[in-house]
Homo-oligomer: A and B are copies of this chain.
């Protein structure tokens, strides 16, 4: 059975029956719009567009992984403001010959990733397209906190990261090289490419602790911290020795003769969180200090300025 066999309304029905609705959803799928609780009186909102062939490949990632990844990168954007994600809405372009098993897995991936933060897919749109296109918008609640912008880092603050770095890049390199992921560590790196595991709860926690700047690492740590440096009018100095380099990243680098730190510093799509904090903030488990904020501009590693290596979608 394919998407084309069911038709538009059948597909919508098939998707919505697989989507549990969380407490913040006051009106779920089926009307002109969903209605989501925004108790704070403000709503944080972020959107992304994912394209088959560019952001994922159906021969490399299952529908389930694509759903988790698409949800994760938007939920992470909202968490990076210090907000708690409440819901997603999702626009889907689907080929008529797409197997329903793939669509079901995609739906389940969305639902499961949302469930990790108590959010849910509250609405969407389905249309026919020659390739799979996924437009995701995440909403979140700030619970009375000021949003944590990119522009608040000040000289003397520390720079810290939470979550995985380099996993997605290592997994991608393994897949591209055609290296079989036949050990648990290599498999973990490939799984990290297929779907990230952002440290969502660390976002609101960082805001609570007084983080002065924060973002999620989507294009690569150096490039993304470059945005913080620019928006804040400061220099970011990193100490690579301080980075927690995951064993799967080390194992993949060994397998491919690569430098794991390159993936940690320049690899994107893990959706770790990077933040600046005043130096007197006691950081809880989950946050690792990896550098500091200084007067100046740019991002320095070992005192040397590194180009903003990362991903430019039109480069």
By a beta-carbon cutoff of 8 Å, the part of chain A in contact with chain B is 3-4, 6-9, 11, 26-27, 30-49, 51, 54-55, 77-78, 80-81, 83, 87, 89-93, 96, 122-129, 133, 135, 137-140, 142, 147, 149-150, 214-216, 231, 312-315
Interface pair B37/A41, CB less than 8 Å apart: yes
Interface pair B34/A44, CB less than 8 Å apart: yes
List, in ascending order, chain B residues with CB within 8 A of A32's CB: 46, 77-78, 80-81, 150, 214-216
List, in ascending order, chain B residues with CB within 8 A of A38's CB: 38, 40-43
Interface pair A46/B123, CB less than 8 Å apart: yes
Closest B residue to A273 using CB positions? B32
Interface pair A127/B55, CB less than 8 Å apart: yes
- Min distance, Cβ A69 to any Cβ of chain B, angstroms: 14
Given known A-B contacts A81-B31, A89-B137, A133-B133, A123 and B39 have beta carbons under 8 A apart:
no
CA distance A133 to B51 in the complex (A): 10
Interface pair A45/B312, CB less than 8 Å apart: no
CA distance A242 to B225 in the complex (A): 62
Cβ contact of A54, chosen from B11, B90, B129, B140, cutoff 8 A = B129
> Which residue, of A11, A38, A137, has the highest number of chain B Cβ atoms within 10 A?
A137
List, in ascending order, chain B residues with CB within 8 A of A133's CB: 49, 51, 93, 133, 135
What are 27 pairs between A and B in contact, CB < 8 Å?
A: A4-B314, A7-B315, A8-B315, A9-B312, A27-B149, A31-B149, A32-B77, A32-B81, A32-B150, A33-B45, A33-B80, A33-B140, A33-B147, A37-B42, A39-B41, A43-B43, A43-B139, A46-B89, A48-B125, A49-B93, A49-B127, A49-B135, A51-B127, A55-B127, A91-B135, A91-B137, A135-B135
CA distance A3 to B96 in the complex (A): 30
Closest B residue to A94 using CB positions? B314
CA distance A39 to B125 in the complex (A): 26
Given contacts A32-B150, A49-B92, 4 further A-B contacts (CB under 8 A): A37-B42, A48-B125, A89-B137, A133-B135
CA distance A128 to B54 in the complex (A): 8
Cβ contact of A33, chosen from B40, B78, B92, B93, cutoff 8 A = B78
List, in ascending order, chain B residues with CB within 8 A of A43's CB: 35-36, 38, 43, 139
CA distance A127 to B312 in the complex (A): 9
List, in ascending order, chain B residues with CB within 8 A of A89's CB: 45-47, 137
List, in ascending order, chain B residues with CB within 8 A of A83's CB: 33
Given known A-B contacts A51-B133, A312-B8, A315-B7, A46 and B33 have beta carbons under 8 A apart:
yes
- Min distance, Cβ A225 to any Cβ of chain B, angstroms: 13
